[in-house]
Structure 1
């Protein structure tokens, strides 16, 4: 605890404004980051365990139900490149605040008893979450430059703990509420409202990044290394959101009840939590992160093997392996945004690019897995597709894990 509290006081004051207490400002900022992080996955992971209930209530096909997870990812893809531009125009603090408002609006809209409102709310919350996804890593790089690994770990843990809780309690809560699954989804608006309140003090500040000029090496979009990071981002998200969308139904088709299936998904995400905290710290200490990428790949492969085995007795082991894999993969790629860039502006640009193209790849996941299931009548081919995705992830991660900076790949090559 002392280590964490010492870390939060390392905030870099980049404006001429002088807060009452730098230490107090740091603590309030950290609380704001934590609260925003709690809203970045929970409204989406809450849907997975409820998919079968939603389908039965609305008559959706597997393919259409997959869009409940796919639409937020498409919103991530479209909005992510715009988030750095909005932050430069209005400031990170105000842009993040606007993002939380949009998330809250989307969550409320999903409560309206209409399929159109359900999908519209889903798209809206995806737009708001995209802003937080892109800007929080670069805000951490700006305000906690000496503790990037620890702060990234705290941010990741906050996000994944509540993602796990959302998966685990969605079914039980829906059964206790007269509004059913709609009320269960609405519940996550409590977190976004709390995030709005906690973030309010940050609106007094508008940081101006000093020396924030575009890298002389040009746009991140022309960097091969940036594209490797982008592929890693996309494929780890492909795996995570596909599992979140369809794992409960995979398990219920084997005879497991819906509540237990939701708890298994929650177990997966709970085991991702230690990885999301530890891996960023390790990544910050290593010159290259290739070993972490390979370890993540092995967790994925072993988890998919056990999932393919089809034994309910192995489900817990499967969830632990995939949970460690998804947590580690997210921790690694989030650190790539800071470890492969020279300054905050470039980190935001890389984050925007990786999350734009990356989530476009990820958006294919739930839809494609549902389509393959409908096409084949089972899950074997769909799990085989996850094997292929994991292999490509490892290949791209090997390149992204090398000790280089965006725009300076040729410099590293000539020196070595």
Structure 2
């Protein structure tokens, strides 16, 4: 389906240098809160299952629903932004993230599921709307801001992965370990409030380019599949790497630290990959090389001695962070102009994250069916193979033609 623009493409008044710095910091602070939901649950998943009596299938649903929301609710971000204004829609997203995350602290299965849906909807809005702000207010710094934005996403996930278990142990409750991540989201909402309270300034809309809908473009679908398949692997890791490593013998804190280390690797990959992706004529070699890193990292996590697990985690993070940044870069490079880039971003995230939701769900189904993670590497190998194929297709030096 043809997704609407992330937000109306506009010509915004040039802000002062100080104002742009504050706006950039605000965007990065918001991005820090768009991934804490996922690794925090992963780090405590065995405790959540024991405390609620949830089966592996129900636990898989807990990890899958928020990811599914990233796809489903992304299509509603643009209409809400057109009605309220982008800044106010972002504030609404932050409030949803804070409320949904806090709701998980009630320690009941319905609250865990409902809170995941509410927070996932807010994250979906943030995913779609923040790149629109970057395009509007930082047209001369898109590459740098995209790298910093991607790094902030990974940084938030890394902090949540590392600190959730210690916080839960200090508080004496796994539920409080989940709910604590509502606090930084609420703080970000308070800091964003003055900007959202301003009356929207006068802007001149730019007509969307091209008449042919994006869903008729094979290249647009290839880009969407590239986004979705790398996201599926990413959310499998967010949701299940810590339980997998605990199943291999690590304790809860060590498994959470290992996940955090992997996400730190993602931060480095996010910063380095845009330069790698633009070195050659296209992005096929970069995508293939990064998937090779992911394969090596996952193989090490499953089969290498536990003493070397940190090396595997870093390799995995470098590959996955790089793939995220390359996927975002490919969206910009395949689009002929900003209008099509906005539409392609909405389509790729909507379809991609909906597809990605199946990854954690399948891991849970496999675990429940066989009582362990023995067959999960087969699933990961299949996702990597499909991801390489989609990268070879989406990474070609071509432009989407909507004429």
Q: 1:358 aligns with which of 348, 352, 360?
A: 352
| RMSD (Å) for aligned C-alpha atoms | 2.1
After TM superposition, the structure 1 stretch with the greater mean CA deviation from structure 2, 111-120 or 230-239, is: 111-120
Q: Secondary structure at the match of 1:214?
A: coil
Q: 1:250 aligns with which of 244, 248, 251?
A: 244
Q: Measure, in 1, the Cα distance between the counterparts of 2:56 and 2:164.
A: 19
Asked if the contact 2:228/2:349 (under 8 Å) is kept, the reply is yes
Asked if the contact 2:102/2:181 (under 8 Å) is kept, the reply is no
Asked if the contact 2:164/2:178 (under 8 Å) is kept, the reply is yes
Cα distance 1:344–1:93, how it changes in 2: closer, same or farther (>3 A)? farther
Using the TM superposition, give the Cα deviation of residue 285 of structure 1 relative to its aligned residue in structure 2, in angstroms: 5.8
Alignment coverage as a number of residue pairs? 394
Q: Measure, in 2, the Cα distance between the counterparts of 1:161 and 1:65.
A: 25
CA shift digits 1:267-292 (9 cap, x unpaired):
10011111111212443565422221
> In the alignment, does 2:111 pair up with 1:111?
no
Quote the residue 2:174 is aligned against.
181
Quote the residue 1:348 is aligned against.
342
Taking structure 1 as the reference length, the TM-score comes to: 0.89
Quote the residue 1:230 is aligned against.
224
Quote the residue 1:197 is aligned against.
190
Asked if the contact 1:149/1:284 (under 8 Å) is kept, the reply is no
Cα distance 1:347–1:42, how it changes in 2: closer, same or farther (>3 A)? same
> In the alignment, does 2:11 pair up with 1:14?
yes
Cα distance 1:397–1:100, how it changes in 2: closer, same or farther (>3 A)? same
Asked if the contact 1:101/1:128 (under 8 Å) is kept, the reply is yes
Asked if the contact 1:14/1:208 (under 8 Å) is kept, the reply is no
Q: Measure, in 2, the Cα distance between the counterparts of 1:405 and 1:135.
A: 23
After TM superposition, the structure 1 stretch with the greater mean CA deviation from structure 2, 346-355 or 359-368, is: 346-355
Q: Measure, in 1, the Cα distance between the counterparts of 2:395 and 2:301.
A: 28
Asked if the contact 1:246/1:366 (under 8 Å) is kept, the reply is yes
> In the alignment, does 2:152 pair up with 1:155?
no
Q: Which runs of 5+ in 1 are unaligned?
A: 1-11, 412-416
Using the TM superposition, give the Cα deviation of residue 207 of structure 1 relative to its aligned residue in structure 2, in angstroms: 5.9
Asked if the contact 1:138/1:338 (under 8 Å) is kept, the reply is no
Using the TM superposition, give the Cα deviation of residue 86 of structure 1 relative to its aligned residue in structure 2, in angstroms: 2.5
Q: Measure, in 2, the Cα distance between the counterparts of 1:297 and 1:207.
A: 44
Q: Measure, in 1, the Cα distance between the counterparts of 2:316 and 2:201.
A: 39
Asked if the contact 1:84/1:348 (under 8 Å) is kept, the reply is no
Q: Measure, in 2, the Cα distance between the counterparts of 1:296 and 1:376.
A: 31
1:381-400 equivalent positions in 2, closer than 5 A: 381-400=375-394
Q: Which runs of 5+ in 2 are unaligned?
A: 1-8
Asked if the contact 1:35/1:191 (under 8 Å) is kept, the reply is no
After TM superposition, the structure 1 stretch with the greater mean CA deviation from structure 2, 373-382 or 130-139, is: 373-382
Q: Measure, in 2, the Cα distance between the counterparts of 1:309 and 1:265.
A: 16
> In the alignment, does 2:125 pair up with 1:125?
no
Asked if the contact 2:222/2:390 (under 8 Å) is kept, the reply is yes
Asked if the contact 1:32/1:199 (under 8 Å) is kept, the reply is yes
Using the TM superposition, give the Cα deviation of residue 24 of structure 1 relative to its aligned residue in structure 2, in angstroms: 1.7
Q: 2:287 aligns with which of 293, 311, 323?
A: 293
Q: 1:142 aligns with which of 122, 129, 136?
A: 136
Using the TM superposition, give the Cα deviation of residue 313 of structure 1 relative to its aligned residue in structure 2, in angstroms: 2.7
After TM superposition, the structure 1 stretch with the greater mean CA deviation from structure 2, 278-287 or 377-386, is: 278-287
Cα distance 1:367–1:405, how it changes in 2: closer, same or farther (>3 A)? same
Q: 2:267 aligns with which of 273, 276, 281?
A: 273
